[in-house]
């Protein structure tokens, strides 16, 4: 089972209600938010439905650990620190990242959404077009890690 990092790149203006609903179900409430999703048929159906608003790709353990360290949050918007991980008996950032990749989701009690910043240096192409046609949207594969590093 693959685990994808999904990042929402477009805002809410002019979006159909069913697309907004799918984005909410995927835990992508706002622009530049990210989450982890496994490759089940229902999840892939939602990804295909909202493909004009997101980009996604496979994330590795090291990058996920970095995301947890910089952008991981607990309920109440508290930062995810080494002490908090030890209190919850989750091991270390790397152990937590490994477990999350195996399960294909964000583990409780962590917040399911990671808030990111706009990419430093900006986007290469036009954000409203798919990667195939020179834009930023759509499937990226391993290249999602490079975008993630620009957005953390």
pTM as predicted: 0.93
Residue 41 CA to chain centroid, in angstroms? 18
Look at the chain and report how many structural domains it folds into: 1
CATH of residue 37's domain is: 3.30.1390.20
For 79-108, the pLDDT digits (tens) are 999 999 999 998 999 999 999 999 999 999
**pLDDT value at residue 93:** 96
**pLDDT value at residue 125:** 66
Q: Residue 81: which residues within 8 A CB-CB, separation 6 or more?
A: none
| Sites in the chain below the pLDDT cut of 50 | none
Q: Which domain holds residue 15?
A: 3-151
| Inter-CA distances, 137 with 33, 53, 62, 87, Å | 14, 7, 24, 39
In this structure, what token pair is assigned to residue 130?
A: 């798919």
How far apart CA 34 and CA 56 sit, in angstroms, is 9
Q: What percent of the chain has pLDDT over 90?
A: 85
């Amino acid at each position: 089972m693959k685990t994808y990092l999904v990042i929402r790149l477009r805002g809410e203006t002019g979006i159909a209600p069913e697309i907004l609903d799918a984005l909410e179900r995927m835990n992508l409430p706002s622009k530049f938010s990210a989450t982890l999703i496994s490759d089940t048929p229902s999840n892939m159906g939602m990804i295909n439905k909202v493909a004009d608003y997101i980009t996604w790709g496979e994330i590795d353990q090291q990058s996920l650990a970095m995301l947890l360290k910089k952008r991981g949050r607990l309920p109440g918007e508290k930062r995810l620190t080494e002490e908090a991980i030890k209190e919850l008996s989750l091991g270390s950032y790397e152990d937590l990242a490994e477990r999350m990749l195996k399960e294909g989701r964000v583990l409780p009690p962590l917040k399911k959404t990671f808030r990111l910043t706009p990419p430093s240096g900006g986007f290469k192409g036009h954000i409203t077009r798919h990667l195939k046609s020179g834009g930023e949207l759509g499937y990226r594969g391993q290249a999602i890690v490079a975008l993630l590093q620009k957005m953390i």
